[in-house]
Amino acid sequence: MRIETQAIVCALLVHGEHGAIVRLMTPQDGLQAAYVRGARGRRMRPVLIPGNQVQARLSSRTEAQLAQAEIELMHSRGPLLGEPLPAAAIEWATALTATALPEAQPYPPLYQALDGLLAAIEAAPAASGWGSALVRYELLLLAELGFGLDLQTCAVTGSNDALVAVSPRSGRAVSAAEADPYRDRLLPLPNFLLDGGTASWPEIIDGLRLTGHFLTRDVLTDRAASLLEGRERLVDRLRRAAGVA
Instruction: CATH number for 2-78: choose from 3.30.465.10, 2.40.50.140, 2.90.10.10, 2.30.42.10.
Output: 2.40.50.140
Please say whether the beta carbons of 56 and 70 come within 8 A.
yes
**DSSP bridge pairs for 26:** 30
Closest CA to 79 of 122, 116, 129: 122
Please say whether the beta carbons of 29 and 43 come within 8 A.
no
Predicted TM-score (pTM) of the model is 0.94
SS3 assignment, position 216: helix
Q: Is 15 exposed, middle or buried (0-12, 13-18, 19+ CB in 10 A)?
A: middle
Sheet with 150-154, side-by-side order of all strands: 150-154, 172-175, 163-166, 187-188
pLDDT per residue as tens, the chain (245 positions): 899 999 999 999 988 778 899 999 999 999 999 999 988 888 999 999 999 999 999 998 887 789 999 999 999 999 999 999 999 999 999 999 999 999 999 999 999 999 999 999 999 878 889 999 999 999 999 999 999 999 999 999 998 889 999 999 999 999 999 999 998 999 999 999 998 888 999 999 999 999 999 999 999 988 788 899 999 999 999 998 887 65
Q: How far apart are CA 13 and CA 155, in angstroms?
A: 43
Give residue 215's pLDDT.
97
> Where do the structural domains in the chain lie, given as residue ranges?
2-78, 124-242
Please say whether the beta carbons of 138 and 110 come within 8 A.
no
Give residue 61's pLDDT.
86
Please say whether the beta carbons of 10 and 67 come within 8 A.
no
